[in-house]
Chain A
Amino acid sequence: MKALHNLVEKVKPNFEKGGKLEKLNRTFEAFETFLFVPGNVTKKGSHIRDAMDMKRTMFHVVIAMIPVMLFGMWNVGYQHYLAIGQEVAFLDQFVYGLIRVLPLIVVSYASGLAIEFLFATIRDHEVNEGFLVSGLLIPLVIPVTTPLWMVAVATIFAVIIGKEVFGGTGMNILNPALLARAFLFFAYPSYLSGEVWIDTTLQEGQQLVDGFSGATALAVLAAGELQYLPSAFEMFVGTIPGSIGETSTVAVLIGAVILVATGVGSLRIMLSVVAGGLFMGGLFNLFAVNDFMAIPPYYHLIMGGFAFGTVYMATDPVSASQTGTGKYIYGFLIGVITILIRVVNPAYPEGMMLAILFMNVFAPLIDHYVVAANIKRRMNRLKKAEVTIQK
């Protein structure tokens, strides 16, 4: 560690003003602060600086995503060998998934960070840390069969239109990772719906097993083919087709524990999204005019991207509501709208993405009214106090 620090200090003058590589100052700074907590001192105002800066906050989210990522990799291999009817060892399944998923992650990070560094250099601001999370989220919310160049295009779109035009991390209205997914969903619909969830590239001599369907639980329900619906246990563990990271509720729960324990993710939002989902699912269950409405409400929590979206997307500290009460409203409405889209709109079997993006847009409005209500309440209290004093 010491040697690394010395090396950083040694090359530092090259990047400072007047140095040979002055243009790359921001790039250097990004790597330096990534490795070591910078020794900056606050010049005015409060003098306490927490070592837990943005980079390390974001890093906690990345750590929380690792269980989901590892499970997703294994599930890609598992689903693949299931589809071609081969039984292979656990490790082989994992390695197959790793080989398939790793390029997606690399492309997402490379294209996104390239844009980030470019903007940081042109605009001369610090490199935004937010992309550490977005770069890993994007591959986790898409099907494994998505072509790499599409991932790159979507990532670049999300970083520029979703973030940089608003002024970078902390200014964005929408969650960049979800924006990338929404872009893919609307731009290349045939690659993001239908039978794209399982990697079915065949080697010489391999073939798909009879009766292979490859549809997600939500698609099965939307089509009304209840006999193909996986069991609740399968959906909970995650051995079902779906986007890379979304299938396993268990892995997502591990991530949720990490996020809540480190104080990075908001428990309020997570709980209220679940409450909203259960409420709307229960309401549909009461009427139950078709198969989709008839399923038990808790099924909604373990199907599709509900759990993943709840824990990693809805809790995004930038695009979510900031006020405490606002978080309850924001989360609850995400849950309600998700189930509403799932069950009522046949064009979109999964509603989590659209619900979160929709509520992202409304988050500032919710905050505004929460704050206004608070001011009003306290003004009334003040008036009452004045009246009693006058008496």
Chain B
Amino acid sequence: MSETNSNTQKEPLFSGKNQKLLSNPLNKDNPITVQVLGICSVLAITVQMKTSLVMAISVVAVMGSANLIISLLRKGIPPRIRIIVQLTVIAALVILVDQILKAFVYDVSRQLSVFVGLIITNCIIMGRLEAFALNNKPWPSFLDGIGNAAGYAWVLLAVGFFRELLGSGTLFGYQVIPNALYEFGYENNGFMILPPMALITVGVIIWVHRSRERDLIDIS
């Protein structure tokens, strides 16, 4: 009797609420375009699609597991030292990711250089641990981590797409813009490779996003 009771009370894995955890950060609660967090890494590593993709995957991995681990530990962490515990968990995960990247995609790992290590300081990760994982069960926390990281990832990939396409004429290192166009007088836009253009690209994405989602516009 009690068993069935607990079964009916148990939420399905992808209930409406849990789906929201995944989908909200992709759109109306996007960490980059709405909360404007984690901008530094977006400016630094989006010159190419390849680095953007590797960074995106790394952040998804780190964030999902960090949220899961902290959520599992949440009852055992004394509130006064919670930041140190969070940092230790993230740092351990980042070192893992760094080692894996060095072992399997060494050239990309060299291009990303310090920015893999700097995932530790990515405000989105700490923010979600503080705001969500410390107070929620492991499964929703995990989904929240994945969702926010995915929200970060798509902006990263979008910026990387435009910067590599217009700045180098390539995507993932393969030439996309036909040679005929270059013979016609087309030139790669050197400005796209410089960090200011990443900022402007992010700005344009925010602009487009807000003009599609009218309720995000707040005039204060």
* A interface with B by C-beta (< 8 Å): 147, 149-150, 153, 161, 165, 183, 186-189, 191
Closest to A147 in B: B185
Give Cα distance in the complex from A259 to B198, angstroms. 38
A183 touches B185 (CB 8 A): no
Chain A positions within 8 Å of B204 at CB level = 161
With a cutoff of 8 Å between Cβ atoms, the chain B residues found around residue A150 in the complex are 187
Instruction: Report which residue of B185, B191, B200 has the largest number of chain A beta carbons within 10 angstroms of its beta carbon.
Output: B191
Which bracket fits the contact residues of B? 10 to 19
Check if B191 sits within 8 Å of A187, measured CB to CB: yes
B187: chain A residues within 8 A (beta carbon): 147, 150, 188, 191
State the B residues within 8 Å of A (CB).
Answer: 185-187, 189-192, 194, 200, 203-204, 207
A183 contact set on B, CB distance < 8 A: 191
Q: Are A188 and B190 in contact (CB under 8 A)?
A: yes
One of A165, A187, A188, A189 near B203 (C-beta < 8 A): A165
Bound-state CA distance A165–B200 (Å) is 11
Instruction: Check A149–B185 contact: CB distance below 8 A.
Output: yes
Q: What residue in chain A is nearest B207 (Cβ atoms)? A: A165
Total number of residue pairs linking A and B with CB closer than 8 Å: 23
Give the dominant DSSP class at A's interface: helix
Chain B residues within 8 Å of A191, by CB: 187
Using known A-B contacts A149-B185, A161-B200, determine if residue A189 contacts B190 with beta carbons closer than 8 Å: yes
Q: Is the CB of B189 within 8 A of A188?
A: yes
Sample (22) of A-B pairs whose CB atoms are under 8 Å apart: A147-B185, A147-B187, A149-B185, A149-B186, A150-B187, A153-B189, A161-B200, A161-B204, A165-B203, A165-B207, A183-B191, A186-B190, A186-B191, A186-B194, A187-B190, A187-B191, A187-B192, A188-B187, A188-B189, A188-B190, A189-B190, A191-B187
Contacts of A153 in B (CB 8 A): 189
Residue of B with least CB distance to A191 = B187
A46 to chain B, nearest CB (A): 28
A199 CB to nearest B CB, Å: 16
Mostly helix, strand, loop or mixed at chain B's interface? helix
Give, as a whole number of angstroms, the nearest-CB distance from B159 to chain A. 15
In the complex, A189 Cα to B192 Cα: how many Å? 12
A sample of 10 more A-B contacts (CB under 8 A), given A161-B200, A165-B203, is A147-B187, A186-B191, A186-B194, A187-B190, A187-B191, A187-B192, A188-B187, A188-B189, A188-B190, A191-B187
Closest residue on chain B to residue A161 by CB atoms: B200
By a CB distance below 8 angstroms, the chain A residues around B200 are: 161
Q: Which residues of B contact A187 (CB under 8 A)?
A: 189-192
In the complex, what residues of A have CB within 8 A of residue B191's CB?
183, 186-187
Of A150, A161, A186, most buried by chain B (CB within 10 Å of CB) is: A186
CA distance A79 to B203 in the complex (A): 42
Chain B CB within 10 Å — which of A149, A161, A187 has the most?
A: A187
Complex alpha-carbon distance, A278 and B100, angstroms? 59
> Nearest-CB distance from B114 to chain A (Å)?
25
Give chain A nearest CB distance to B195 CB in angstroms.
11
Q: Which residues of B contact A165 (CB under 8 A)?
A: 203, 207
Q: How far is the CA of A149 from the CA of B207 in the complex (A)?
A: 25
| Min C-beta distance of B18 to chain A, whole Å | 37
B184 nearest CB neighbor, chain A only: A149
Chain A nearest Cβ from B196, distance in angstroms: 8
Residues in A with CB closer than 8 Å to B185 are: 147, 149
Contacts of A161 in B (CB 8 A): 200, 204
Chain B's nearest CB lies how many Å from the CB of A142?
A: 15
User: Which of B190, B192, B200 lies at the interface centre, i.e. has the most chain A CB atoms within 10 A of its CB?
Assistant: B190
B47 shortest CB reach to chain A, Å: 15
Bound state CA distance, A150 and B191, in angstroms?
A: 13
Q: How far is the CA of A149 from the CA of B186 in the complex (A)?
A: 9
Distance A165 CA – B203 CA, assembled complex (angstroms): 10
Chain A nearest CB from B164 CB (Å) reads: 15
Which residue of chain A has the shortest Cβ distance to B167 in the bound complex? A187
State in angstroms the CA–CA spacing of A150 and B187 once bound together: 9
Instruction: Report chain B residues within 8 Å CB of A149.
Output: 185-186
In the assembly, what is the distance between CA of A140 and CA of B207, in Å? 31
Instruction: Tell me how far the C-beta of B163 lies from the nearest C-beta in chain A, rounded to whole angstroms.
Output: 12
Contacts of B190 in A (CB 8 A): 186-189
Distance, CA A23 to CA B194, complexed state (A): 40
CA distance A165 to B208 in the complex (A): 11
Query: Closest CB of chain A to B214's CB: distance in Å?
Result: 14
Tell me the complex Cα distance, A147–B184, Å: 11
The CA of A189 and the CA of B200, in the complex, are separated in Å by: 19
Nearest CB of A to B83, in Å: 36
Set of chain B residues within 8 Å of A189, measured between Cβ atoms: 190
Cα–Cα, bound, A191→B188 (Å): 12
A184 to chain B: closest residue by CB: B191
CA–CA, A186 and B203, complex, Å: 19
Report the minimal beta-carbon distance from B56 to chain A, rounded to whole angstroms: 26
C-alpha gap A197/B207 in the complex (Å): 37
Instruction: Provide the bound-state CA to CA distance between A323 and B192, in Å.
Output: 36
CB distance from A298 to the nearest CB of B (A): 35
Q: Give A148's nearest chain B residue, CB to CB.
A: B185
- Distance of A305 Cα from B194 Cα, bound (Å): 25
Q: How far is the CB of A118 from chain B (nearest CB, A)?
A: 14
Residue of chain B at shortest CB distance from A153: B189
